[in-house]
Structure 1
Amino acid sequence: MTLWYDEPATMINGPGLSMIIVPGRGGKIVSLRDGDGVEWLLGPPDPLPPPARPGDAFEAAEMCGWDECAPTIDAGRLADGTEVPDHGDLWTATWSVGDGTIMEAAGSSLPYGFRRAVLSTATGLELRYRVTADRELPFLWAAHPQFLAPPGTMIELPAGIERVIDVYPEQGTERRWTAAAAMIDSVPPGTGRKVYLSPADAVGTVALQRPDGRGLRLSWDPARLPYLGLWYDRHAVARADVIAPEPCTGYYDSLAAAVERGQVATVAPDRPLEWSLFLESGRG
């Protein structure tokens, strides 16, 4: 067992990457370092606040690292009256630890079970997910990493993506996807931007590229994670400039809206949801 600010944590190492996870803070990934020891994730404030609990505001918590957002990102109310909280309920849950690489939590707004295993691969790390439920449920999950983005840092998408869709601060406005728009510098200081790829442009990889040549690549099966959001934050909420690539199971941030659109995954007793994210670091 590792300690992170005197809290129990788990460290997992893979080729070129090492990860630290704190179960008592919503299973948060608090550190992701490359083979040179360079940190990719935003660190915590000083002093460190106590772990968030259900009902806490997301922006009032420690606002660092990588959270799992489910069963929604935006707070809302489903057609049956069920309230789902801001950024979901996993980030305020206390996760149980299995063999050190497997952690589990249970939903509180909807009755689902969530499991994440972190495994070493030949090229980095795999985050392997499984969601179960006793009845059929809509389920919107999104990765929520806050990757440090010094000036010149940009997102690289597969070839062929020409347009993206603004959802914050505007909603539904198309934007040309260019090298300039992909950079953190394209967002005015003190503001943020959230865009999604069109559902017709399902991709299976995204890379974060820093101006010093360091890179971090996320990849997945687009049949299981068909949607991708990109959050840019230049001190709008975070304490530093960050970029968050967010592969997800629903389109876009609101579970209630995704259900109305028919663009969200469902989990059922005989149909668990399973997917993986693969992480690799490199240069160029």
Structure 2
Amino acid sequence: MEYGVFYRIIEGFSAVGLRSRQAELLMVPQLGGRIVSLVGLKSGREWLWHREKQGWLWENNAGDDFALSPQAGIDECIPTVAPCCFKGRLLPDHGEVWYKGWELDSSALARGVICSRVVLDVSPFVFERCISIDSDGSFLLDYKLENWGIEDEPFIWSLHPLKSIKEGDYLVLPDEIDFIRLDGGLGVPIQRGDVWAYPEPFSGIRLDRLQVPGDGSELCVKGFAGPLKHGWASVCNDNTADSIKISWDADVIPYLGIWINRGLGGAHHVGLEPCTGIPDSLAIAANEWKTVETIAPSQKLRWRIKIEIL
């Protein structure tokens, strides 16, 4: 098996991939730079969720409801996750980059790196992500954000990885996480800012075992941990010993979003979402919770995510 860059057509879209000795990653530049596949080569497990039907990938346009998108794999959310109005700008659902085509750097591909960039339509940002293979076989996602505007710009960046849930899956998070602040959900009454104990907010309900309280067929919850001292989070499996670990510098990315969906829209997936600010709305993060990053005019911010498949 050859390692490095490879190409594939998936659901009719041109994709570019990276293969290490541990895993295979596949990205579609045309669809917001979405990473649509992340397969562990040891077990063959596909870690990323998508609908189990033909035609599970399609294009979207500015202003589309994210719920009507493929919602497949890993999206990037910037400068907000929830739609909001900020500084007179109408910011779309899940940000400005997931529905746009990204420009690939052919010279980087020749070096074995998937580097792509996108210019935002509403906010004065240029966003870049370069994916490479580390010496240990993991994937490194290196980011750069540049402010082309003339004033300071608050923003939220959030990784948005939807991982499929298999029998035996459970979360492993840093010991410092003993509560989460909620941003929404279905199943029990939730107000934004409510605090739940982690991992067991209610007797017999274990969030680390991907359980959500409530009755019915559509249960979900979104909450946040942090600010953190330790930037990592894992999904492991009791039955197979497979695991995926995401790690980052908590001094740069201080928060972790936790999304658990047990039936909303007929889906079952979990999202471990490193993020620079909380909650999902930039307007609320900047104006109310005061938990947001800011980039100065002409400034370039950089950060890194590491993804390990074991």
2:46 equivalent in structure 1: 39
2:237 to 203, 210, 227: 210
1:176 equivalent in structure 2: 197
In 2, are the aligned partners of 1:131 and 1:272 still within 8 Å (CA)? yes
Runs of 4+ residues deviating >4 angstroms? none
Alignment of 1:125-164 (within 5 A): 125-135=139-149, 136-164=152-180
User: What is the root-mean-square deviation in Å for CA atoms of aligned residues?
Assistant: 1.7
- What is the CA–CA distance in structure 1 between the aligned matches of 2:57 and 2:179, rounded to whole Å? 40
In 1, are the aligned partners of 2:84 and 2:283 still within 8 Å (CA)? yes
- What is the CA–CA distance in structure 1 between the aligned matches of 2:24 and 2:143, rounded to whole Å? 19
Is structure 2 residue 116 aligned with structure 1 residue 103?
yes
2:4 equivalent in structure 1: none
Distance 1:244 1:11, change over 3 A: same
Moved more, 84-93 or 190-199: 190-199
The TM-score with structure 2 as length reference comes to 0.85
Structure with bigger gyration radius: 2
- What is the CA–CA distance in structure 2 between the aligned matches of 1:32 and 1:46, rounded to whole Å? 19
Once the 2 structures are TM-superposed, how far is the Cα of residue 187 of structure 1 from its aligned partner? Answer: 4.8
> Unpaired segments of 5 or more residues in structure 2?
1-6, 201-205
2:135 to 117, 122, 144: 122
In 2, are the aligned partners of 1:163 and 1:175 still within 8 Å (CA)? yes
Distance 1:160 1:48, change over 3 A: closer
- What is the CA–CA distance in structure 2 between the aligned matches of 1:161 and 1:249, rounded to whole Å? 17
Once the 2 structures are TM-superposed, how far is the Cα of residue 243 of structure 1 from its aligned partner? Answer: 0.5
Identical-residue share of aligned pairs (%):
27
- What is the CA–CA distance in structure 1 between the aligned matches of 2:198 and 2:27, rounded to whole Å? 34
- What is the CA–CA distance in structure 1 between the aligned matches of 2:141 and 2:221, rounded to whole Å? 26
How far does the alpha carbon of each residue in 1:180-209 deviate from its partner, in whole angstroms, 9 at most, with x for none?
22121345541111111133x343110111
* Pairs aligned (count): 279
Once the 2 structures are TM-superposed, how far is the Cα of residue 244 of structure 1 from its aligned partner? Answer: 0.3
AA aligned opposite 1:7: F
In 1, are the aligned partners of 2:212 and 2:260 still within 8 Å (CA)? no
Once the 2 structures are TM-superposed, how far is the Cα of residue 157 of structure 1 from its aligned partner? Answer: 0.8
- What is the CA–CA distance in structure 2 between the aligned matches of 1:63 and 1:181, rounded to whole Å? 22
Distance 1:159 1:49, change over 3 A: closer
Once the 2 structures are TM-superposed, how far is the Cα of residue 93 of structure 1 from its aligned partner? Answer: 0.8
The TM-score with structure 1 as length reference comes to 0.93
- What is the CA–CA distance in structure 1 between the aligned matches of 2:142 and 2:280, rounded to whole Å? 22
Once the 2 structures are TM-superposed, how far is the Cα of residue 142 of structure 1 from its aligned partner? Answer: 0.4
